[in-house]
Structure 1
Amino acid sequence: MAIDFLESKTKVNLMRAFAGESQARNRYTIAAEAAKDQGFYAVQQIFLFTAEQERAHARRFYDLLKNISGNTVEIAGGYPVDHYDSVIELLRAAEYNELEEYGDVYQVFGKEAKEEGLIEAASTFFQIAEIEAVHGRRFGKMAELLEKNKYFESDQNNRWMCLNCGYIHTGKMVPGVCPVCRQDRGYFIPAELAPYLGYNFVQ
């Protein structure tokens, strides 16, 4: 039997999750600006794409608090400061935070909600945790390719997609500008990252 929601740990955990997701959305929006300034337009798009998903997560957690509207929920928690100039550092920090949410934070929150009989909240924590794992892997893969200088070139023929117009390039290196839309090479995304954005390289 569920306990009184106002007396629950889950109420606090939902507000902490709402705060965390809201901050992640803003961090990724700021990171997107840094990526754009450095000519990584596809990285910018991935940060913005993920930021919008974080907004959806925050909304879901906030909706689960609707039945206590008018109350104030006090929370205490630590939240990361990831204000780096390097796009790689921004990606690695995002990877770490997403995987921490997946493997630690939301597992604890989900377990506590289940113990309190708040099954919908528990399910939400566990479901969103799985999405955060995808976010973490996506950021990690991008960072790895940049660290190895494999984001714009490869030892063998590879495929890249221009996110601006959809042109697919095959070769060992991305062209300096897209031959179709004439946008900078920063709009290209490697084939291995495309599925994370729902793109398909089937021609």
Structure 2
Amino acid sequence: MKIQKADQTVIHLPWVNSMGVIGDPGCEGLGTYNMKVYAGTLEKSAQDDITLIAGDLVPAGNAHYYEEISALTEVIAHNDVYVLRGNHDTGAYTDYFGRKNYALLAKEFSVVVLDNAMRTFEEEGLELLKQVLAMEEVQQVIIAFHIPVPNHFIRNSVSESEFERLKAAYTPWKSKVKYLLCGHVHSKFEDVVDDIPLICTGGGGALIEDVSEDIRACDVEHHMVHFFMEEGKLAYRFDELSENAYEKERKVPILRENLEKTVASELMAHLKYLMFADRAKRRGMDKIANLFEALAASEYHHARNFYSVIQSKASFGESAKSFIPGEEFEYQYFYKMMEEYAAQEDAPLTKQAFSGAAAAEEIHAELLKEAASIDTFDTDTVYVCPICGYVMTGDHIPDRCPVCGGPKRQFEVFES
């Protein structure tokens, strides 16, 4: 069993010299897209002796979600996995993971896991913290909990009075407390509170979010944290997920081939449903159109989940750049070649489709080059011709599409 149920208050792990920490893998749902990130962090954590999940393993605390995440963890994890309770980990949490307050005593450091999922520290946990800190053999301690204590970056924290309760528990042995560790925030930051380093990590599966003007989603990647001993002192480092995080399943030829076919099939269904919805809307059949738009959205999300398994994902900052070569190849070579071939075969509709698409792809490439400079990109409004897909930006848009002549009143407008 990889997931360890904390059935004792103090768990001795004399063989443990390092620990990987994964924050918030499942609070936004257990879809394949999110779970691939979690799988990647579990594989990275294999270099450590144990793994700790810093809360929100599931979106809600019923048995179905706990069973699903436990089964996935058992297959992918390479070391023992411990869990601390997050605000989403309600209901049957103790049935699966045991105590909400417990301590891990490793070879040269200790971790005291405290439950503050309800924004308050339980008295049982604070008493345990005192007990562990008072042990003579305990010298380097991480105090781990889910919701941050008050800090310099975010207000999404426990109250000052709750922090005072925590401080009162550890103050007599404050020199032993080397780190405060939390999750909850879908990002990462480092701070110092009460002269102790605070490490916040929430990049183990949930979509990264803006925290403040200083901590933006575009500047943070999915990640985990490693704690390890270095020259007798407890140290840590963040580890971002690379584009090759969790490669196992896309390396199985039959799986990859069928996943690719399924992605194509789902996207074709997405397109067919959208086109039918458009026809229904034009005929005044709004309810039918609404249904097929919903079905199209569902097919897209299916395609995204299948594709996420085989996708070699670049970091956010590199993603825009990674799309440019494909766009350039299409309009510079492939679409031109197909346009010429269609002309030879007397296939004017195919020729027209490739010609119009090539014009749009060239604009795509130009915009992607601009977007690659995330901090300076300032295009607020993008117009798309729904007839041929041509893309336009700027303050002065023509009355008709320069490629197909579609009227301006029909242009789709995308505003930030």
TM-score by length of 2: 0.20
TM-score of the superposition, structure 1-length normalised? 0.35
Q: Which has the higher helix share?
A: 1
